Amino acid sequence: MGGSYKIYAVDDDAGARQLLQSGLGSSYAMEVFDCGERCLERAAEALPDLFLLDVELPGLNGYQLCRRIKVLAQSARTPVVFVSIHDNLDAILAGYEAGGQDYIVKPYALDELKYKIENIRRIELHTKTLRTQAQSADALAARLMGNLDENAVLIKFLRALNQCGDFRALASGVLLALNSWHLDGALQIRMRHLEHTFSPSGENWPMEVEVINHVRSLEPVFQFKQRAAYNFEHITVLVTNMPLEDPERCARIHDHLALVAESAQQKLAALQAFDDRATLRDQIRAVAQTIGDDMESYRRRHDDARYQGSEHTILFLDDLQRAFSRLALSASQEDNIMNLVRERTAKLIELYDISGETRSTLDDLSAKLETILAATADRGGQA
């Protein structure tokens, strides 16, 4: 038995079977059968590369046998050549209608039969090549479409990220991207005064919190089998079903997730800075209010002190004037003393009268605080 190309030949004539075996056995792996039923039994065990069928057979004739072969999925594409004594158009058309690839009339020359077999082999080889190329093209097209779809998800996420006004909107965007890539996972967001874990199942599920709390202390990008974690200061993204069966897609998804996590980190940092500035503005506003209240209180107390100081000065001068009457001083002496007291009293009041300077200093401080408030408000609006 020669060759690797396997042929099953069916003919009820022993001489014809012997001729086929001796004439083709050196070039092909030949197996011969005297009826269609035995051929079908053998084909169920191992398919040939070609069926060579006589038309006139006991039981199933060649046309019926061909139809049985073609209806089976495993042998539907296996070529069939009919061999028959009938040399008319109806017989030939019946063979083609049954599913045959060629028709040869008995008696035939072995060279003619070999030529037809080789021609079918060439056609089958070409067809398989085309089929393989088509499958490769389909696979490439599928990969390209997959890439386009994946990139579209990424672009949609990045666009939506700019509109996120808080951490919950950002978390929803990340989960939507994971779902669009058919990935299962969760994420944890960490801000200055909060820590929140999100997943399709809900928020702050104990098991997910525990797993993320464990992996967030590992490398920035950590992968163990189908699990992958992307760790940043404000966010950890955990995926539990990385597509390891498709290395190319897995590499693409890995790059997409790294970009998603890094972009989310930057947005969360901006949100944190915005919150910090808002807190600072509130604190400055409170300080400015306190300064304003203190200034008003100081002004009232200062005005009251000046009034009381003036009253006490007047009383002091009156008391001093009455005391002069008992000292028997001359009018000139009394005037000199009174002028001296008035001058020194005025100097003393002037020395402690710094209300204008104090008010100016506090007004300058208040103006500077308002300037800082306006600046932080402008930058906050850009976060």
Torsion on CA atoms 123, 126, 132, 138, rounded to nearest 10: -90
d(CA 270, CA 266): 6
Residue 291 to residue 373: CA distance in whole angstroms? 15
Domain boundary among 271, 293, 324: 271
Indicate whether 217 and 291 sit together in one domain.
Answer: no
In CATH, what number is assigned to the domain containing residue 146?
A: 3.30.450.40
Structure-block tokens of residue 215: 């992996």
Answer yes or no: do 308 and 367 share one domain: yes
The pair of structure tokens assigned to 262 is 């890094």
CA–CA dist 195, 31 (Å, integer): 75
Q: Is 101 part of a structural domain of the chain? A: yes
Place of tokens 């974690």: 229
> Has residue 1 been placed in a domain?
no
Euclidean distance between the first and final Cα of the chain, in Å? 81
Cα–Cα dist 79/7, whole Å: 10
pLDDT at 129: 79
Are 23 and 124 in the same domain? yes
Q: Token pair for residue 53?
A: 């069928």
Q: Quick one: tokens of 222? A: 């950590």
- One domain for residues 302 and 356: yes
Q: Look up tokens 């203190």; give the residue.
A: 294
Full-model pTM: 0.47
**CATH code at 11?**
3.40.50.2300
Distance CA 263, CA 170 (A): 10
**Burial class (CB within 10 angstroms; exposed 0-12, middle 13-18, buried 19+) of 334:** middle
pLDDT at residue 361, as a whole number:
67
CA separation for the pair 71, 64 (Å, rounded): 11
pLDDT at residue 355, rounded to an integer: 55
Instruction: Supply 355's token pair.
Output: 């209300």
Query: CA 331, CA 324: separation in Å to the nearest integer?
Result: 9
Nearest to 77 by CA among 127, 28, 29: 127
Tell me: cis bond preceding 107? Omega within 30 of 0 counts.
Answer: yes
What is the pLDDT, as a whole number, of residue 63?
Answer: 94
Question: 193, 195, 247, 237: which is closest to 215 by C-alpha?
Answer: 237
**From residue 363, how far is each of 24, 226, 368 by CA, in Å?**
114, 64, 9
Question: Closest Cα to residue 354, out of 291, 305, 308, 317?
Answer: 305
In a domain, 329, yes or no: yes
The CA distance from 288 to 295, in Å, is 10
Q: How many domains does the chain have?
A: 3
Q: CA 159 to CA 353: how far, in whole Å?
A: 63
10 backbone dihedrals φ, ψ, rounded to 5°: -120, 120
Q: Are residues 261 and 280 in the same domain?
A: no
120 & 58 share domain: yes
pLDDT at 138: 52
Residues 66 and 110 in one domain: yes
> What is the predicted pLDDT for the residue at 234?
95
* Residue 294 token pair: 């203190």
Predicted confidence at residue 141, as pLDDT, reads 45
* Residue where one domain finishes, among candidates 245, 271, 297: 271
Q: What is the pLDDT of residue 21?
A: 92
Beta partners for residue 191, in sequence order: 194
The amino acid at residue 346 is A
pLDDT of residue 314: 75
Note down pLDDT in tens along the chain; length 383 residues: 457 899 999 999 999 999 999 999 889 999 999 999 999 999 999 999 999 999 999 999 999 999 999 998 888 889 999 999 988 989 989 999 999 989 999 888 889 999 999 998 888 888 787 777 766 655 544 454 455 578 888 899 999 998 888 999 999 999 999 999 999 999 999 998 899 999 998 888 888 888 899 899 889 998 888 999 999 999 999 999 999 999 988 999 999 999 999 999 999 999 998 888 877 777 777 777 777 777 777 777 767 767 776 777 777 777 776 776 666 667 787 677 777 777 767 766 665 555 566 667 666 766 776 776 666 565 544 44
Residues 280 and 263 in one domain: no
Domain for residue 110, yes or no?
yes
Residue 137 lies in a domain: no
Co-location of 360 and 348 in the same domain: yes
Co-location of 334 and 279 in the same domain: yes
Please check whether residues 105 and 200 belong to one and the same domain: no
Indicate if 120 and 186 belong to the same structural domain. no
* Amino acid letter, 332: S
- Are 292 and 189 in contact by the 8 Å Cβ rule? The answer is no
Specify if 344 maps to a domain. yes
Which of 83, 105, 132 is at the close of a domain?
A: 132
Q: What is the pLDDT of residue 163?
A: 87
Alpha helices in the chain (DSSP H): 14-24, 36-45, 62-71, 89-98, 110-163, 167-180, 206-215, 247-327, 331-352, 355-381
Answer yes or no: is 169 within a domain: yes
Q: Which domain holds residue 178?
A: 142-271
